[in-house]
Amino acid sequence: MRKALLTACAVLALTLSAAAESVSRTQHKSSFEGKTETRRLDLEVTQSHRLVRLSVKFSLTAGELHLKLRDPRGKVRQDVVLSRVSRHELSTGDMEAIPGLWTVEVGLKDATGSYEAALTAVQ
């Protein structure tokens, strides 16, 4: 009985710990046809965040898509230009969370397709 109680307490502690983890996220989903424009997503990362991650799913049937991720210092962390017809998923993996404003720019040039982008910071 005591072992079962200790196991239940350990499971509860792990559950509460996971629930206490703070996640900040900005995301954008868009479809476009023959568009030429630049869209921007911003995420404020605080001192309490440990990791930042960018995930993008896209489908491009025409034109060009340019994806650029900058950290608060202005350093480009991801810079991708896609100009072939394709369907793809891209993830930066976990990066050190530098506090400040992180920015994702999605540039479209005569582009047709769609994308879903999510920039996430985790404590």
In the chain, what are the domains? 22-122 (2.60.120.380)
What predicted TM-score, i.e. pTM, was given to this entire model?
A: 0.78
Q: Percent of the chain at pLDDT above 90?
A: 72
Q: Predicted confidence band at 22 (pLDDT cuts at 50, 70, 90)?
A: confident
What's the rounded Cα separation, in Å, for the pair 7 and 13?
10
Q: Predicted confidence band at 1 (pLDDT cuts at 50, 70, 90)?
A: low
CB-CB neighbours of 71 under 10 Å: 19
The string of pLDDT tens digits covering residues 95-116 is: 999 999 999 999 999 999 999 9
The torsion defined by the Cα of 103, 64, 90 and 38, in degrees rounded to 10, comes to 20
The string of pLDDT tens digits covering residues 60-86 is: 999 999 999 999 999 999 999 988 888
Lookup: tokens for 101: 């404003």
**Closest-CA residue to 70 (of 104, 21, 108):** 104
